[in-house]
Amino acid sequence: MSEVTVRKQRPKHLALNEIRLPLPGFVSILHRISGAGLFLCLPLLLALFGNSVGSPESFAAYKETVGNPFMKLILFGLLWAYLHHFCAGIRFLLLDMHKGLDLPAARKSSKVVLVVSIALTLIIGVKLW
């Protein structure tokens, strides 16, 4: 007696709006995006740092640049990116040490990463604003 396997028809296109990503996957993607964003904004951060430690005239230009609300918003986003990347990096280091690999622990650590990174961003951002 031969066994007949029924093959499921594969979709012809990938419907990205129908894919439901679990929270640990969402945190992983945000970790990659935040790392790429930090890397791409490194020239901006270095230019701001150079202006802040240069001459008094360049420091005045730095204060004017950083005082712009749009620049504050960009720096606020970079602060979140740094803090999220840092917190998620600690989570991934723990996962590499085989801590919290089961699904409930992975979901809990993902929630902790999101809450801690947002809370730290708000606390530090309000102090610096």
Show pLDDT as tens, one digit a residue, over the chain (129 residues).
556 667 777 767 777 777 788 999 999 999 999 999 999 999 999 999 999 998 999 999 999 999 999 999 999 999 999 999 999 999 999 999 999 899 999 999 999 999 999 999 999 999 988
Give me the pLDDT at residue 128, please: 85
Q: Identify whether 101 is part of a domain.
A: yes
| CATH number of the domain enclosing 81 | 1.20.1300.10
Q: Identify whether 100 is part of a domain.
A: yes
Give me the pLDDT at residue 15, please: 76
Both structure tokens of 68 = 């712009």
Q: Identify whether 58 is part of a domain.
A: yes
Question: Within 10 Å of residue 127's Cβ, how many Cβ atoms?
Answer: 7
Q: Identify whether 45 is part of a domain.
A: yes
Give me the pLDDT at residue 46, please: 95
Give me the pLDDT at residue 16, please: 72
Rounded (5°) CA angle 89-76-61 = 125
Domain that holds residue 123: 22-128
Distance, in Å, from the CA atom of 80 to the CA atom of 37, rounded to the nearest integer, reads 11
Estimate to the nearest angstrom the gap between the alpha carbon of 69 and the chain centroid.
22
- pTM for this model (two decimals): 0.82
Q: Identify whether 102 is part of a domain.
A: yes
Give me the pLDDT at residue 113, please: 97
Q: State the total domains in the chain.
A: 1
